[in-house]
Amino acid sequence: MFNLNNPRFVGWSNYRTIITDPGFPRLLWNTFVWIACSVAFQFLFGLILALLLAKPFPGRGLYMGLVFYPWALSGFAIGLLWSWLLNGQFGIVNDILMRLGLIKVPIGFLSDERFAMFSVILVNVWYGIPFFAIMILAAIQSIPNELYEAAQIDGAGLFRKLFYVTLPYIRPTIYSTILLRIIWVMNFPDIIYGMTRGGPAGATNILSVNMINIVYYRNNFGLASALGMIITAILLVFAIIYLVLLERGEFEL
Amino acid sequence: MKKLAIVSLVLLFCVVGLSEQVTLRIIQVFTSPLRTRVLEDIISKFEAQNPGVKIELISPPYETAYQKIYLMVSAEEPLDIVEVGDWSLSALASMGKLLSLEPYLAKSELTKHLVPGVLEAARTYKGTAYLLPNAIYVKTLFYRPDVISKYGIKPPAKTMDELLEHCRQLTKPEIGQFGFDFRGKGYPTAFIDIVMTSFFDDIDPNCMYLKKDGTLIFEDPRALEGLKFYIELFKTAPKDSINWGFDEQVNSFASGITPYLFQDPDTVGLLNEIMKEGTYKTAPLPIGKGGKAYPTIGFAGWGITSYSKHKDLAWKFLEFFNSPEINAYWCRDYGALPVDMRVYEIDPYFKSEIFYGWTAMFEDEVHYQFTKYPLDNEAWSEWNELHETTMQQVLLGKMKPEEALKVWADFWKKAGLGKK
């Protein structure tokens, strides 16, 4: 690993610098919270959306176009857009909440440590729901109608149909989509970078954002590369889980 | 037959003519639509004066511009002229890919007319000029007389104490009115330092973080006083501003939410586009308890790559860019201060009222002592990240000011600054 300003071999020094940094445990924790909350809520709302869109209703095409729209935008642009929407002074979100009488003073969504991580996750959830919805919807539409008819004859209600027909049938899609999303969300600094750059005071700093900050502020490509390798190593764990599940046939119907 | 010969001859001339075309590749850093438009216009003027020369402008987004430059020059990709800002000069020059401009400067007529201190600033790295500054930046106090006077206050504030007092009187969160236009991210270093050093009267003219006796300012009780003052000033700003950079600051000032702002002259160009004439003014930076204020001269300019195949032509462009007429045009539209003394004579714009803040500071040597950042220190870029994060922790009450000062002192001692 080298520094462009002074290229030389430094051995494991960059890895040591990252791991022994007092802020490293917090970075890992933030990354975990970011992935766990983002993926869990993206899945939950994606599933609900897919179930709602599974049956035809008037204007479904238009509705689908609207809800899938965020997925077509760039993550960085979304980050910048939401940084203005959630701005404590000029943001439209605060304005609406105040007009509705829900709050008296503006909330510092991105400047208050208590809200910053919540806000970036919220935007990421909004951004990622369409992907889950598209994947799950495609899987739901492939479920043979006979299964539902058989369940109906056996007297199954709405929830029984969901838990005994729909979810088991689309399980392979759910597994593979969740694993893919974990990998993508971990590697996805765009929204956080556009909204907070990891601040305030590191409250929203995750591994991939920190990697950009190292290059942006310090121009230290060696240190950033080492962090990149650490991220790759963590992702490797998920890749192995994916391969093991694949091997066990968990992704097959 | 005769016709054919003439056509062939014309074609031959065309081919020869085309093959003689030289292309210069330029990369800019501080990209913005307004700035790119002016730059493209200057480039086309140069091309018109130099037939056979074509200039290709590369305009990456500001956030990634330096990374692109580092990668391009380290791989010696075709690039002749590189924009360099003062805070990145040493990092780029130390890569050994920038050409020393000293031989050109020694022969150039331009050198005699540069604003005092500009060339010295360009020689930040190892005493050699690796760039020719084309504009200078000094922070001053911007204020909104219309907003401030509504609260029965007579602007501008002349001292830091007065500034805090004014800002406290202006701050009424219930109606969305605040005093100070704060900056919490994107290099807030210069803003903190203006306030903190104003508590001193013995700052080293060659390094802002050292006192004249060579010791670090961070271990002096006055630094703690200055830092605590900065925290008080933050209380007169919207809490959200801990997450603000340049864009949010300018927006907040233009909308009147925060009518007191410290900023560089390039803000003038932007404010002139979005605000009515006379709705904002500039004044010298308020002086602090030390009886002084310590501004720094920032600069940006053009460097030439050491591996360029058209070094002389590149220098010709640099000279053209810094000629009084072009420099006046560049600084006027973009809003920076010219580097050529002659510009201040030929263009009355730079003597207009909006530049009062700067001219007053330049003329008052008793209260305004210009100083420098340790830009040639390798730790400089790392400092900006540390300074921003620790300062945010202080403002959020997660770190005591004393702890932050200790972290800063230890950082600079490790980087070899000050007596150990």
pLDDT tens, position by position, for chain B (420 residues)? Answer: 566 566 565 555 555 455 578 999 999 998 888 889 999 999 999 999 999 999 999 998 877 788 889 889 988 999 999 999 988 888 888 888 999 999 999 999 999 998 877 888 889 888 999 999 999 999 999 999 999 999 999 999 999 999 999 999 999 988 889 999 999 988 899 999 999 999 999 999 999 999 999 999 999 999 999 999 999 999 999 998 998 888 889 999 999 999 999 999 988 888 988 898 889 999 999 999 999 999 998 899 999 999 999 999 999 999 999 999 999 999 988 788 999 988 988 888 888 889 999 989 988 989 999 999 998 888 888 898 899 999 999 999 999 999 999 999 999 999 999 865
Is A87 in the B-facing interface, judged by CB distances under 8 Å? yes
Question: Which amino acid, one-letter code, is at B133?
Answer: P
- Give, in order, the Cα–Cα distances in Å from B371 to each of A189, B121, B193, B339: 37, 11, 11, 18
Quote the CA–CA distance of B386 and B384 in Å, as a whole number. Answer: 6
Q: What is the DSSP string of B38-72?
A: HHHHHHHHHHHHSTTEEEEEE---HHHHHHHHHHH
CA B238 to chain centre: 25
Interface of A with B in 195-214 (CB under 8 A): 196-197, 199-202, 213
Q: Is A216 close to B63, i.e. CB distance below 8 A?
A: yes
Q: Is A200 close to B257, i.e. CB distance below 8 A?
A: no
Question: In which order are the strands placed within the sheet that holds B281-283?
Answer: B260-263, B140-143, B281-283
Burial of B44 (0-12, 13-18, 19+ CB in 10 A): exposed
Nearest 5 degrees, angle CA B84-CA B87-CA B91? 75
User: What ipTM did this prediction achieve?
Assistant: 0.77
Compute how many other C-beta atoms are within 10 angstroms of the C-beta atom of residue A15: 16
A110 CA to chain B: closest CA distance, Å? 7
Question: In which order are the strands placed within the sheet that holds B81-85?
Answer: B53-58, B22-27, B81-85, B298-304, B132-137
Q: What is the DSSP string of B295-332?
A: -B-EEEEEEEBTT-S-HHHHHHHHHHHTSHHHHHHHHH
Compute how many other C-beta atoms are within 10 angstroms of the C-beta atom of residue B273: 10
Cis before residue A172, ω within 30 degrees of 0? no
Q: Is the pTM of this model over 0.80?
A: yes
Residues on chain B bordering chain A, Cβ-to-Cβ distance under 8 angstroms = 63, 66-67, 70, 74, 88, 91, 94-95, 173-174, 176, 184-186, 238-243, 248, 251-252, 255, 257, 378, 381-382, 384-385, 388-389, 392-393, 395-396, 398
Question: Which amino acid, one-letter code, is at B370?
Answer: F
Quote the CA–CA distance of B29 and B81 in Å, as a whole number. Answer: 11
